[in-house]
């Protein structure tokens, strides 16, 4: 059975896209970079959008659909989203695309990749996250949400790779002199964006021995830093004995190195029973 390759092409408040490739299937999750940038970044790993089997869209904000009209329209790539998101995309882009609508919570297949969908709390029309069941393991996408819940923890409890929003540092956001209070309230609200601490708490909650890679995703360029996001998550994971997890901070400016997902035996020195659950405040205080 072959390996699966994941490349975060870019992630941040101004554009998000990820490329997943198995032996026989190639998909994008979100298309928030320009079509020319997606072409350029795919070319950097020897790939082209011409062979994409699908584009999966989480929601209609511009940082998730900026290149969709040009890329999917010209190449006639199927676009998977729920109907509410599709109707918003039609209104925003005035594009005639090959939409494949699903009901939020439904599962379907694109080639040899199984796709689970689930609702996330964000201030758009029916936003979703994705869990991809690939031939080599499970890849989860959880960004653009104001809080986590038991349903999300249940959905992602066996994920092997996770793209997880670490949007802001709360103090940096509160102290930012350029953002109006209403915007700060939106970001901090239950349908806004996850902070570094909230992301760490969720990662601790779902941690298991076969979760090997976490991407710190969708960082704010003004209210976070790569070092803060990484250090907060690293401290929290080390406190519960999850030092086996590799952390990568995704950036807006360039793709992350391609991650190769392969079926592996459980780590000898890390099993689920050995991973403790501690209050996130204790973990952050040790930073």
Overall average pLDDT of the 167-178 stretch: 95
Could you give all domains of the chain from N- to C-terminal order, each with its CATH number?
Answer: 4-263+271-285 (3.60.15.10)
Overall average pLDDT of the 172-185 stretch: 94
pLDDT at 11: 98
Ramachandran area for residue 85 (φ above 0: left; ψ -120 to 50: alpha; else beta): alpha
Count CA atoms closer than 13 A to 45's CA, side-chain side: 24
pLDDT band at 269 (very low <50, low <70, confident <90, very high): very low
Asked if residues 52 and 77 have their Cβ atoms less than 8 Å apart, the reply is: yes
Burial class (CB within 10 angstroms; exposed 0-12, middle 13-18, buried 19+) of 84: middle
Reply yes or no on whether the pLDDT at 76 is more than 70: yes
Reply yes or no on whether the pLDDT at 266 is more than 60: no
Model confidence, pTM? 0.91
pLDDT at 122: 96
Residue 286 DSSP label? T
pLDDT at 2: 73
**CA distances to 121, 134, 162, 283 from 124, in Å:** 9, 28, 22, 32
Locate tokens 């029309």: which residue? Answer: 125
């Amino acid at each position: 059975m072959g390996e699966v390759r994941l490349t975060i092409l870019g992630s941040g408040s101004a554009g998000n896209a990820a490329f997943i490739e198995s032996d026989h299937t190639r998909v994008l999750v979100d298309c928030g970079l320009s079509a020319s940038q997606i072409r350029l970044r795919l070319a950097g790993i020897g790939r082209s959008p011409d062979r994409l089997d699908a584009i999966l869209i989480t929601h209609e904000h511009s940082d998730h659909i900026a290149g969709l009209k040009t890329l999917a329209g010209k190449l006639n790539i199927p676009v998977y989203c729920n109907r509410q998101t599709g109707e918003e995309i039609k209104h925003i882009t005035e594009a005639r695309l090959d939409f494949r609508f699903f009901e939020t919570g439904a599962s379907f297949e694109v080639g040899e990749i199984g796709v689970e969908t689930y609702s996330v709390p964000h201030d758009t029309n029916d936003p979703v996250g994705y869990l991809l069941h690939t031939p080599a393991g499970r890849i989860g996408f959880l960004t653009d949400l104001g809080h986590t819940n038991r349903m999300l923890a249940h959905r992602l409890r066996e994920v092997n790779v996770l793209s997880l929003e670490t949007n802001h540092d709360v103090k940096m956001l509160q102290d930012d002199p350029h953002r109006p209070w209403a915007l700060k309230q939106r970001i901090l609200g239950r349908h806004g964006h996850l902070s570094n601490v909230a992301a760490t708490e969720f990662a601790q909650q779902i941690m298991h021995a076969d979760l090997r890679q976490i991407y710190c995703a969708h960082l704010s360029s003004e209210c976070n830093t790569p070092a803060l996001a990484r250090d907060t998550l690293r401290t929290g994971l080390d406190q519960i004995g999850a030092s086996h997890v590799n952390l990568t901070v995704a950036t807006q400016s360039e793709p992350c190195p391609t991650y190769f997902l392969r079926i592996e035996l459980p780590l000898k020195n890390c099993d689920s029973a050995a991973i403790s659950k501690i209050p996130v405040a204790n973990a952050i205080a040790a930073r």
